[in-house]
């Protein structure tokens, strides 16, 4: 019998509009209407789970679309390339976050070191 879009969304912890968005983007199949309502099968649950997991790993929706169309047995090289691209992008983001953390930590130490003059944290953001 299958499940409704609401049940599908609930099973993945997303809202119905997210499911519809993925459908519009071509990431998730839209079943035919049967008896006035679309019914989703276990394959849709797996597909939605794949999308959410890939997003959690930092893949873009474009990359997820490509991953969905790759053959698990034939396209390993391309999957590795996509993973390497994500790793490189994550490394850049980690470096940016570490730099921001270091700068904020320095400001917090400066703020704690003295009660005189303006707060270094507030002053840094007013510039």
Quick one: pLDDT at residue 79?
A: 94
Quick one: pLDDT at residue 56?
A: 93
Pairing state between β 37-38 and 33-34: antiparallel
CB 20 within 8 A of CB 38: no
Positions of the chain with pLDDT lower than 50, given as ranges = none
Instruction: Look up the domain containing 54 and give its range.
Output: 1-69
Question: Do residue 82 and residue 62 come from a single domain?
Answer: no
CA–chain centroid gap for 84, Å, is 17
Question: Do residue 2 and residue 57 come from a single domain?
Answer: yes
Q: How many domains does the chain have?
A: 2
Looking at residue 46, which CATH number applies to its domain?
1.10.1660.10
- Alpha carbon distances (Å) from 113 to 4, 20, 121: 59, 53, 12
């Amino acid at each position: 019998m299958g499940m409704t879009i609401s049940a599908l969304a609930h099973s993945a912890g997303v809202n119905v509009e997210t499911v519809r968005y993925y459908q519009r983007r071509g990431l998730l199949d839209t079943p035919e209407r049967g008896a006035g309502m679309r019914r989703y099968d276990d394959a849709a649950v797996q597909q939605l789970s794949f999308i959410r997991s890939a997003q959690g790993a930092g893949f873009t929706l474009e990359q997820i679309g490509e991953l969905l169309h790759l053959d698990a047995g034939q396209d390993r090289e391309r999957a590795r390339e996509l993973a390497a691209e994500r790793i490189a992008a994550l490394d850049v983001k980690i470096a940016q976050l570490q730099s921001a953390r270091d700068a904020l930590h320095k400001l917090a130490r400066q703020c704690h070191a003295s009660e005189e003059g303006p707060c270094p944290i507030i002053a840094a953001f007013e510039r």
